[in-house]
Structure 1
Amino acid sequence: MIILNVVFVSLVSSGFTSYFPESNGLLDFAYQFGVLPSVWGLYGLLAGLLLLPFTLIPHAKWPLMVLIAFASGVLAVVLVIDGFIYEIYNYHINWFFVEAFFADEGGEFFDVSLKTYLLFSFAAVLVTVFELFLLWWVGFRLSKRDHYKWVGVAAGFVLFANVLFVNVVHSWAYAQNYMPITSISGHVPFYFPIHSRSIANSELLSSLASDQDEQESHIYYPRSPMVCLGPEEKKNVVMVVLESWRGDMMTSEISPNTYALAQDGLWFDDHHSNGTVTTTGIFSLMYGLVPTYLDLVVANNGAGGPVLINQFKQQDYRFGVFASGDIERIKIADTSFSPVKEVVEHGQGEDTIEKDRDVLNRMKNFVSESDEPFFGWMFFNSTHYLYYYPEEFEKFKPTSKPSLIDFKQGKNPEPYLNRYKNSIYFVDSLIQDLVDHLKKEGRWEDTILIITSDHAEEFADTQATRFGHGSNFTRYQTEVPLVIHWPGKEPQKFDYRTHSVDVSATLLTDYMNCENPATDFSNGESLFDTHARDVQVVSSYYNYAFVTDEGAFVQNPVGLPKAKDNDDKDAQGMRLKPELMIKTLDQMRWFKDAPKSKETPTE
C-alpha cells in the first residue's frame, strides 16, 4: 500500500518537473527522474518503519491500510493545491501560508473564487475514489496472491536505493556548485536533501554530469539591469565583521576604540542582523536579501554574486578578502564573494588568535600595496565560542572557559560572559591597529570603514540554559553593532531600527549613486531612510521568523508558526497582521518571480 502510494503521489507531483532545468547529461536525467520518488519514498520508508510493529497486532491490516490511504490522500490533495499556489506565488504552501489565508477575512490578498473551491473539491473526490480503489485492489487482490508476496520487500529495497542515490548525487552537486541539480531543490515541496562535502571530488559523478556553463538562473537578482553613475569621488571601502558580537557589548569599557569611532562617525544603535548564524548573517549583509533566499542562491551557483561586489568590480576596485574562519566550508566564498573568489585568503596560525592577527596583517599589507581604490573585507573569529584572547587582554574577571555541559546545567553565565567580553576587547584592539594604519598610510580621510557583526550571542538572557546563537530570534541573538566612518558625513547617532540587508542597499544608493529603486537589488533600503521597518525576515540554519517590535513569528522547516515575545516566551495572543504577513511573503518571493513592468513589492 505504501509503495503504490509513493508511485501515486509522485505522479500527482509530476507537474513540478516543468520548473526543472533541461537535463543535458546522464546524471541530470537520472537525478530528475528519481528525485520525486526519492522524496515521497523517504517519507514512505519512514512510515513503513513506524507502522511495522503494529502489523503484529491481530486484524491490524485494514486499519493500517486505511491510515496509509488517508495520509497519502491528504498529501495528494495538498500537492494539487500547492501546484496552483507555486505557479502563482513561486512559494510552496505551508502552515504560515494557511494562517495568512484564514486571517485575510476580507479577501484583500487571497480572493479565492467559487470555481477554485469546486476544482479543489473535485480533485479531493478523485483522490478519495482512487484511494478506495487501492484499498480494494491491495486488500482483496494483491494480498491474496502468493506470487506477489515479495514484491513489496523488493520494491522497498528499490526505493531505498533511489533515496540513497538522489541524496548522494545532491551532496556531490552541492559541494561542486552544480546548478543543473542544486537548482531543482526549491521547486520540490517538502524536500530537504542532505549536504556533504565528503564526495566533492567524485570522478564518476563528474564524468556523468553535463556542462553547466549555459544553465539559466532561477532567481531574478537584480530584477532589472543596474544603472549606477558611480561615486562622485571614489573612496576605499573596508568592511570589518566580528563573529558573534552583540549590540550591548559595544561600550566604552568593552570595545573602547570602536566606541570612540562611533562618537565621531555614524552609529546605528538599534541595528539587527537578518541572520542568527554566520552563514545567513553574512549572506544578508552582502547580498541585501533576506536569508530565506540563501538556498536558492547556493543552488544557482551564487546567482552571479552580490550586486554590491559586482558594482565595485565594474568601478575597477581592487579586492582583498581576509577571513579568520573557513568561509569556503560554509559557502560564503562561493556566494558572497563568487565574483572575486580568487582573492579570498584565510588567516594562518596555530590558533584563532594568531589567525586573527594574520588577517589584520594581510589587510594592512593590502592597504599599503594598493595604489587604486580598494574594497577590503575582514572577518575576525576570536569572539566566537570558546572566546579567545591573549592573557594581557583579560580585563574582565572572573573568567571561565565555557563548555556545553556547563550551559546545559544552567550555570552562572558571568564567568563565560567575562571571557566573551575579553575576546571583544582583544579584537577591538585589532580594529584600532587597522585605523592607525589607515591614518599612517594617508587613507583615513578617503576610506569608508564599516564595523559590524554577523549575529549576536546570548548568555542565559531568555532562560538559564540558553547560550550562543541560532536558537531564537530575540535581540540577544539578532542585535549587533553597526558603526560607520564615512568621510564627508557629520557624526550622528541613529536610534531607529535598521537591518543588515540595509547595508549594501545604502552603499549602492548613497555611494554608488545607482538610479534603480532599491527593490531591484535588495529587500533592504538606505540606512538613512527613517521610516518604520515594521517586519523583517530573520533566519537561522533550520528555521526562520518574521520579527516585529512585539516579538517573532517563528516558522519551523515545514512552516508551522509559533508566536514568541521579545523574551522568547510563548505569546498565544499575539497575531501578525494580514498586511504584514503578505509583506513577508512578498519579501521571500520578490526575487523568484519574473519581473513585470511597473511593479513594486507590497508596501
Structure 2
Amino acid sequence: MVASGNTYKEKVSQLISWGHWFSFFNIIAAMLLGTRYITHSDWPATLIGQLYLLLSWVGHFGFLVFGIYILIIFPASFLIPSQRLMRLFGVLVSTVGLTALLLDTYAYQTVDLHLSPLVWDLLLSGDKTELNANWQYLFVVVPVIFLFELMCSEWVWRKLRKLTRKHVGGPIALVFGVCFLGSHLIYIWADANLYRPVTMQRSNFPFSYPMTAKTFMEKHGLLDRQEYTKRRAEQGVQNSEFVRYPISKLSFNDQGTDQNLMIIMVDSLRSDMLTSTVMPNLTAFAQNNLNFTNNYSSSNSDATGVFGLLYGLPSGYINSIRAEKKSPVLLNTLQERDYNFGLFSGENFDLPIYREAIFANTKLAVTDSRHARDIESDSHAIKDWDHWLSKQKSNKPWFSFLELTSVQQFKEGEHYKPRFTPSLGSNAINEKGVDSTLLLKNSYRNAAYHIDEILGRVFAQLEAKGDMANTIVVIASNHGTEFNETGNNTWGAGSNYSQYQIKVPLIIHWPDHSAQEVTRLTSNLDLVPTLMESLLNVASANTNYSSGVSLFDNNKNRRWLLAGDDSDIAVVENKQTTVVDKYGNYNVYDKNYQLEDEGKPKLSTLMQVMNELKRFYEPRHNQDNDK
C-alpha cells in the first residue's frame, strides 16, 4: 500500500485516516492514565455526579487528545511527504503528550495542583522538596511509552485498510462528542444550582474549563445572582474538609497566671496611623509597652482577618472551622479556667464568623440591646464595657473582647467631629478642585482619632480600677485600608496583599514586661501561641494548635509570613511578596507591591507554606469514613 506509487492526495488521505485511528488509541491510553486523577479525587456520592464523572472522563480526554491531533498532527500530514517520517513525528508528539500527562498526574497526587509555572519551577529546582524528590524516576517509563507508541503506530498502519472498512469511525466520534457536550450541559445546570457532586469535579482533570452560563441565565430571568451568591457562600462552609483542631489533646503545666486578658480589635486600622498626631493615646501606650512595628495580619478582609487573630490558623481553614463550629482553643481554655467573659462590638458582632464559630459556645454579652440597630456605634459599646468592667471582682479573672468599627466605616457627623480637614464631613466635599483621595484619607484619620479617644478612656478606666497591673491588654487589627497607594486602582481592603492592606499594629501591655519596640517580622497568627504559652502555660507544642509562634521567642527570626484567604496564598517577606492562586499561578511583587516581571519565589518556602495549609486537615481516608 505504501510503495504502490500513490499520488500525493492518496498519501495525505491515508495519513489522515491513520492519524484518526492513532489518536483514538492514544485517547484510550490517556483515559487509563486519567484514572489516577479519579482515584486521588473525592468520589461523587450521587448518580448524577457519577454520570458527570464518566462523561467528562471520556469526553475531556477525547477532546484533549483529538485537539492535539487537529493542531499538530493533522497539519503535519500535508507538510511531511514521507509516511515513515510522518508516523515517527506522530509517535514523538504522542510520547511527549503522554509523558506530560504522567507528570501532571504525579503533581496532582503530590501537591493537588496541575502542571503550572509554579509546579514546573518546583520540579526543575534543585531544592529538596516532596515534589521534586522522585519525579525524575518517572522518565524511566518514557522509553516504554515511546515503544508503545511505535508499536501502536505500526499496528494501525498495517491494519488501516481493515479498520477503515469497519465504518465505526463515525459512531466512535459520536460517542466522544456526546460525552463532551453532555458533560458541559450537566455542568451548566450544576453550576447554576450549586450541585456540589458535579461542581467539586471542576478541576480534577488538566485543562478542564467546564462551561457556565450564569450571565445568560440571569439575563433571561433564570437565575437570581444575589441569592446564588448567598447559597454559594453557605455551600463553601457546608462542604469544606474536616479539620483536626487541635491536632491532639492539649496538656498544660499548671493553671496559668490567672491574669486578666483584654483584646481590643480595631477593624481596618493600618499600621501607619500610629502617630502622635493621629492616635496620640495609642502611640504613647505603644511607647511604654511592647510595640511590634513589623506586624502583618493573616488576611486582607474582615472575617478572615479576625479568624487568623483568634485562632492562629491560616485563612484557608475558615470554612472548615465554621462548618464544624469549632471555637478557638484560646477561648475554650479561658472558659475551662472559669474566666468571666465580656464581649462587646460597635457592630453587634455582625460578621457570621463570630456567631457561627468564634463565640459559638459562648453566651454573647453583646452591646446593650436598648441601643437601636441604626445607631450602633463604638461609643455605645464602650459604655457597656465600662458598665461590665465595674462589676468584675478582683478575685476572679476575666476576659474581654472589644471590637471597634469606626475606622472601617469612617463616617463623620454622627458620633464625632472631624479633626483633619478637608474631609467627607466638612463643607469641602461640595467644593470643586478638592482631591477626593485627600477627603477619604482625612475621614479615615478622623475615624482613627475617634478610636484613639475611646482607647484613652479604656486605658484610664483600667488604671482607675487598678486592673492594669494584672491585665494583659492587646490592641490589634484584622487588616488595613488602602487608598490606591500602590497605583493599581486598589482601594479599601480585600484587593491585594500590599503593606497598606495587611500591615497592622500589634501592641501588648504585659505586666512586668519592659517597654520594647520589636522590628522583626511578626504575624497576628503569633498572638494565640503567645497567650497559650505565657498566660495559660500550655505544655503542648504550638504546632499542635496554631501556625504561629510565640512573640516572646526571640530565636524565631523568620524570613517569611503566611497570609491570604480561602483561595489565594500570600507569602510576605521583607523585600517581596509572593501571591499564589488556587491553580498554582504566581506573581512576585517588590516591597512597594509593584509586579516583578522576572521575580521568582523561593520554592522550598512555597512547599513549606503549602504543607502548612494542609497540616490541620483530616487525612483523606478518615474523611471518607466519616462521610
Q: TM-score, normalization: structure 2?
A: 0.69
- 1:292 corresponding residue in structure 2: 316
Deviation at 1:398, TM superposition (A): 0.9
Cross-structure match for 1:552: 577
Secondary structure of residue in 2 paired with 1:267: strand
Establish whether residue 319 from structure 1 lines up as the match of residue 341 from structure 2. Answer: yes
* 499, 515, 520: which one aligns with 1:491: 515
Match of 1:66 in 2: none
The question of whether the paired residues in 2 share the 8 Å contact of 1:451 and 1:483 is answered with yes
2:406 aligned with 1:382, yes or no? yes
User: Are the counterparts in 2 of residues 290 and 538 from structure 1 also a CA contact under 8 Å?
Assistant: yes
Larger CA deviation: 235-244 vs 582-591 = 582-591
Match of 1:260 in 2: 284
Whether 2:324 is the aligned partner of 1:301: answer: yes
Is 1:99 matched with 2:124? no
CA apart distance, 1:459 = 2.0
Shift of 1:400: 3.0
What do you get for the CA RMSD once the two structures are aligned? 5.4
- Equivalent-residue separation in structure 1 for 2:580 and 2:193 (angstroms): 28
Residues 1:107 and 1:484: Cα distance change in structure 2 (over 3 Å): closer
Determine the C-alpha separation between the residues in 2 that align with 1:501 and 1:233.
22
Q: Cα distance, 1:233 vs. partner?
A: 2.6
Between the aligned partners of 2:367 and 2:100, the Cα distance in structure 1 is: 47
Conserved 8 A contact 2:291-2:506: yes
Q: Which deviations, in whole Å up to 9, do the C-alpha atoms of 1:214-233 show, x marking residues without a partner?
A: x9973333233211235533
Query: In structure 2, what residue type is equivalent to 1:394?
Result: P
| One-letter code aligned to 1:554 | V
1:601 alignment counterpart: none
Contact (CA 8 Å) 1:474, 1:551: kept in 2 or not? no
Cα distance change of structure 1 residues 242 and 142 upon mapping to structure 2, 3 Å threshold:
farther
Q: 1:379 is aligned with what amino acid?
A: E
Per the alignment, in what secondary structure is the counterpart of residue 570 of structure 2? strand
2:495 is aligned to 471
- Distance of 1:460 and 1:125 partners within structure 2: 58
Q: Is the partner of 1:252 in helix, strand or coil? A: coil
Counterparts of 1:154 and 1:460, CA distance in 2: 48
Cα deviation, residue 524, structure 1: 1.2
1:58-457 aligned within 5 A: 81=103, 84-85=106-107, 87-88=109-110, 94-104=116-126, 110-112=132-134, 114-119=136-141, 144=170, 156=181, 159-165=184-190, 168-169=193-194, 198=227, 218-298=242-322, 301-302=324-325, 304-325=326-347, 331-340=353-362, 342-343=363-364, 345=366, 354-371=376-393, 372-385=396-409, 387-388=411-412, 390=414, 392-400=416-424, 413-457=437-481
Q: Partner letter of residue 481 of structure 1? A: P
In 1, Cα distance between equivalents of 2:55 and 2:334 = 43
Letter of the 1:549 counterpart: N
Tell me: CA distance 1:99–1:433, structure 2 relative to 1, closer, same or farther (3 Å).
Answer: same
Residue 144 to residue 347, structure 1, CA distance change in 2 (3 Å) = farther
**Secondary structure in 2 matching 1:413:** helix
Contact 1:537 1:584 in 2 (8 A): yes
Distance change >3 Å, CA 414–CA 113, structure 1 → 2: closer
Deviation at 1:424, TM superposition (A): 0.8
Query: Residue 487 of structure 1: CA displacement?
Result: 2.1
Query: SS of the residue aligned with 2:265?
Result: strand
CA distance in 1, matches of 2:357, 2:567: 19
Q: Which runs of 5+ in 1 are unaligned?
A: 64-70, 174-180, 207-211, 596-603
Q: CA deviation at 1:542?
A: 4.8
1-structure distance, mates of 2:524, 2:549: 10
Equivalence for 1:563: 588
**Alpha carbons of structure 1 residues 6 and 358: separation in structure 2 relative to 1, 3 Å:** farther
TM-fit CA distance, 1:501: 0.7
Say how many residue pairs are matched.
Answer: 547
For residues 529 and 320 of structure 2, what CA distance do their matches in structure 1 show? 20
Query: Hey, what's the Cα distance between the residues in 2 that align with 1:42 and 1:355?
Result: 57
Deviation at 1:568, TM superposition (A): 1.7
Does the aligned pair in 1 maintain the 2:525–2:546 contact within 8 Å? Answer: yes
The range that moved more, 392-401 or 547-556, is: 392-401
Distance in 2 of aligned mates of 1:452 and 1:42:
52
1:9/1:40 contact within 8 Å kept: no
Q: What is the aligned-residue identity percentage? A: 21
Structure 2 residue runs without a partner (length 5+)? 1-19, 21-25, 79-92, 213-224, 621-627
| CA deviation after TM superposition for structure 1 residue 325, in Å | 4.3
- TM-superposition CA deviations, 1:513-536 (whole Å, max 9, x none): 111222222221111223322012
Following superposition, the deviation at residue 274 of structure 1 comes to 1.9
Structure of higher CA gyration radius: 2
- Tell me how far apart the structure 1 counterparts of residues 56 and 347 of structure 2 sit (CA, whole Å): 34
Cross-structure match for 1:539: 564
Distance in 2 between residues matched to 1:239 and 1:561, nearest whole Å: 35
Give 2:615's match in structure 1, choosing from 575, 579, 590.
590
CA distance in 1, matches of 2:120, 2:479: 30
Report SS of the residue matched to 1:233: coil
Q: Which residue of 1 aligns with 2:10?
A: none
**Equivalence map 1:522-533=2 (5 Å):** 522-530=546-554, 531-533=556-558
Q: Give, as a single letter, the amino acid of the residue that structure 2 aligns with 1:307.
A: V
Q: CA deviation at 1:352?
A: 7.5
Shift in alpha-carbon separation, 1:463–1:156, aligned structure 2, 3 A = same
Query: Normalised by the size of structure 1, how large is the TM-score?
Result: 0.72
How far apart are 1:445 and its partner, in Å?
2.8
Measure, in 2, the Cα distance between the counterparts of 1:192 and 1:378.
45
CA distance 1:568–1:347, change in 2 (3 Å): farther
1:432-467 deviation line (CA, Å, top 9, x unaligned): 333334345443333211111111112232217332
CA gap 1:505/1:492 in 2 versus in 1, 3 angstroms: same
Could you say if the C-alpha distance between residues 398 and 573 of structure 1 is closer, same or farther in structure 2, counting changes exceeding 3 Å? same
Distance 1:184 1:488, change over 3 A: farther
| 1:392–1:367 CA distance, 2 compared to 1 (3 A) | closer
Tell me the CA shift for residue 121 of structure 1: 8.1
Preserved CA contact (<8 Å) 2:486 2:593: yes
Give distance in 1, aligned partners of 2:448 and 2:149: 60
Query: How far apart are residue 564 of structure 1 and its match?
Result: 1.0
Judge conservation of contact 2:187–2:199 (CA < 8 Å) in 1: no
Query: 2:625 maps to which residue?
Result: none
Report if the CA contact (8 A) 1:38-1:159 is conserved: no
Structure 1 residue 275 displacement after superposition = 0.9
SS, match of residue 282 in structure 1: helix
In the alignment, is residue 576 of structure 1 matched against residue 601 of structure 2?
yes
C-alpha distance after superposition, 1:231-278 (max 9, x if no partner): 533122121111211111011221122222212322112111121122
